[in-house]
Structure 1
Amino acid sequence: MHDTLSAPGAATITKGDLPVLCLGERDVARLLDPTSLLDGLAEGFRRLASGDVQSPERVGVTLPNAGFSLSMPAWAPGWPIAVKVVNVFEGNLARGLPNHLALIALFDPETGTPLCIMDGTHITGMRTAASAVLSVRELARPDARVVTLIGAGVQGREHLRLLPLVRDFAEIRIASLHFADAQLLAESHSGARAVEDVEAAIRSSDVVCLATHAYAPVIDAGWIRPGTHVSSVGYAPPSGELPPDLLKRGRLFVETADAFNAPPVGCGELAGIDPATATALGEVLLGHKPGRITQGDITIYKAMGIAMEDLVAARIVYDGARTGQAGTTLLL
């Protein structure tokens, strides 16, 4: 316990200028290694399920006719404190800006002093996809060879980057509301191709990844064949991209039980679903609960994005920056 009686009075102490590392988008993109992120998230989910991570519900403010801003703190012993602020403004695309903009701050867990400020936009995109791809690694059949990716935006791009790291897919199919977008994304990977017949693609897929900003289901539950793994990262309440009927046919996996809360904390597609019917991914990774039980299981992973994922990604970036002397030091 600290000896507060011998410490100087608070009125006699001033903060002064503190050195804080500043990392821009280029630094973050260079330092966030995809394989390290997947393995780091697996560790994060295990620690979360063990009760070793504080990752409370996100809180936010809504700006009428503009967007919303969410605050997401997280901490685990041995790691820095992380706080992300993410702003979602749909009108930004018309302005030539991403519709998701984020900033992450890291703090010393012993003193609370600021350590680092970094771009969180790249991290948000990549860690969201990585969570879903981690579910593919853990829940898809080992012999899964064909994946269909629905969505050709930021999440489509990040899924395409990460999916080959967890399975040797013979074919990656990409579908989008605008076929030209799917074609453009497919050109960036030799094993990918754009498809127009979404139903046919889904019916013959082993893995289906939903990565859209759709306000209504983008597939029919009846298209999913037995043995398929389905992941979904889209967030567009009140309905969203995942067909609710599919939940009746498969086994549901989530990040945490917070997924069943009302938006913006939880997922609109899970409204009315009993949380007891779902399994936390961390429980599977710990071996406490089963993942895929049979070859014929339909496994469904619905992600909302939690602060633990930002903490894991930001820690990888920060550790890399200190080793490689990246970024700029500011005095705050």
Structure 2
Amino acid sequence: MRKPQRVQTDGLPEQVTIYEVGARDGLQNESAIVDVAVKAEFINRLVDAGLRTVETTSFVHPKWVPQLADAAELLELLDLPDDVRAPVLVPNERGLDRALAAGVREIAIFASATETFAAKNLNSTLDDQFTMFTPTIRRALDEGLRVRGYVSMCYGDPWEGDVPLDQVVTVGARLIDLGCHELSLGDTIGVATPGHVTALINAFTAANVPPTHLAVHFHDTYGQALANTLTALHSGITTIDSSAGGLGGCPYAESATGNLATEDLLWQLEGLGIKTGVNLEKLVTTSTWMSHQLGKPSPSRVLQALAN
């Protein structure tokens, strides 16, 4: 299998953590319900390909995300190596209860940077969402869990348009103050451009939230995900969210297309000489297999090139 020629570039990290979201963020957007055994095999294949952070599922109420109603059953099927992080998304304390009962050691919570998305996704306001997050985060920390904070609509909102940088930073900084070990800055509808990415990371740094506490989560709606990723790397980011085969989008934002494909990200990182520990050939095989399970082709350009 062809691989990119490695040409190292100054000013970039030596190693990057790929935070794989395909099994959760990807599959929650599928119209059909994927069998739990297929999900388990997908996760096992991702781990076998070398991914060491795989977000497995979500303990959101099945009414809202029926595709992940089998969360507890899925976790029972998994027996992952000790060095694999397997976080799950939880929306509130009820979700946390279910996660703790399943033996989860790491969770993520999902916040909004805008009023409208907070109302549509969380049935809350921009400020009141923290009333829901606070007890969930505190209990998780008391139980010894790591907590990641997602911030959605960081670069633009389909209802409100442009989102002020200071508004995003205020939301993110409050999550850090509550105890989140990491913030994932989401380009939920894929409208970010490189200069905007740099400006937001710099704004967080100015608010005493350094790049070491940040991750980026790009969608490729306007074809900017890889350019934005490279910009984030130059700004000191070392954790990149991506989805095997480019699975996923956002069920609450109709204009959003798929996540940055892990294969496309890996091709770029390998070409830059950045270590990830992930085997590109095994990952391509895994995503090709998954696309057959779903009965549709992957949008990943690297997958399309290498799978032929």
Same-fold status (TM-score > 0.5)? no
TM-score, normalization: structure 2? 0.31
Question: Per residue, is there more strand in 1 or in 2?
Answer: 1
> Which protein is bigger by CA-based radius of gyration?
1
Question: Per residue, is there more helix in 1 or in 2?
Answer: 2
TM-score, normalization: structure 1? 0.30
